[in-house]
Amino acid sequence: MHPLSITTSVSFLSRQQQQQQQQQQQQKRQQQQREQQQEHEREQQQQKQQQKQQQRKQQRQQQEQQQQQQQQQQQQEQQQQQQQQQQQGREHTHNTKGDSQKAHLQKQEQQEQQEEQQQQQEQEQQQQQQEQQQEQQQDKP
């Protein structure tokens, strides 16, 4: 065999080996990429689930707030009815000094009660909103 042909065949073999190695490396890289993608998809799924949970929580809280507001409205309506009844009662009584003083005191008491209730309701709402915000911040990844 001619010495030149031996060296060419050796170099040809080594070239082939190099190519094979490169191919293997490429396959490895592709495998890694696939795994990363799967990981990414898993993370996205988790995030979606968390978002769903958050939305459910928010809906629940909104419903609670609505219920509270309805209760407040009912209370206010009841108070108004009471005031009307008192006024009617006053109109029936002879308007002597004692009666009008009593009525005045009752009116004051009612106003104070209403103000207190309103303050309480506002505080409760604020507290609820703060709790909502805190929960949302905790839920954020």
In order along its 141 residues, the chain shows pLDDT tens digits of: 565 666 667 777 888 899 999 999 999 999 999 999 999 999 999 999 999 999 999 999 999 999 999 999 999 999 999 988 888 877 666 555 666 677 778 888 888 888 888 888 888 888 888 888 887 777 766
58: CB partners within 8 A, 6+ apart = 132, 136
Backbone angles phi, psi at 21, to 5 degrees: -60, -45
Residue 111 vs residues 1, 73, 108, 121, 127: alpha-carbon distances, Å: 117, 16, 5, 15, 24
The CA-to-CA distance between both ends of the chain, in Å, stands at 71
Q: What is the pTM of this model?
A: 0.39
Cα dihedral angle (26, 29, 30, 32), rounded to 10 degrees?
A: 160
pLDDT of residue 22: 95
Provide the pLDDT for residue 117: 84
CB 114 within 8 A of CB 43: no
User: Residue 41 class from Cβ within 10 Å (0-12 exposed, 13-18 middle, 19+ buried)?
Assistant: exposed
Confidence at residue 73, expressed as pLDDT on a 0 to 100 scale = 93
